[in-house]
Amino acid sequence: MAGFSGFDPVIRRFGGIASRRELLDAGWSETDLWFALSYGNLSRIRRGWFAASDLSDDARRAWRAGGPLACVSALLHHGLLDAAPSDDALGLHICLPSDGHLPASDGSLPTDEQPSLVVHWSTTDRRSGTRRAVTPAVALRQARACSNGTRARVAEVPLVRVRRVSADGRRPGE
């Protein structure tokens, strides 16, 4: 392979998040991965998964917790919801398959830095977008349902105001 500088372009082809198997299939060896991790040329999100250097912190935390950004977190990621100081109170919304599970905590974040996690359980929704986030249309549907008490795992989520978005995620007039 082209050395350690070649990891980012390959990982970006997978949407900014790549599995160990995908990197091995791209031509690196287990030894290459070990050295790249040891020297800081590769960023591990969780066991068996690696991130491009430009992956957002929210997408990193979401994938570390088990899946892509969902609901209001995905809307923020896609730029369809204006960021507000109260966003932290909404928690980090992720999407996991219906038969999925949350990975065991690896202690990579101190407890006071872990955002409250809101899980949207849907296999179809999880497959709707990229490894970074569900599609804007799915995120909008989740956000509309989330404040009405779906399977999201929080006691109360504030209502959110979202700009009008077409089914393909574009704002009117784009």
The pLDDT of residue 2 is 52
Tokens of 67: 């899946």
CB of 138 closer than 8 Å to CB of 171:
no
The pLDDT of residue 110 is 43
pLDDT in tens, the chain (174 residues): 455 668 889 999 998 999 999 999 999 999 999 999 998 889 999 999 999 988 999 999 999 999 999 998 998 898 877 676 666 667 889 999 988 888 766 555 444 445 588 899 999 999 999 999 999 889 888 887 876 433 332 323 344 444 455 455 554 444
Q: How far is CA 138 from CA 33, 52, 67, 167, in A?
A: 35, 25, 14, 9
The pLDDT of residue 111 is 46
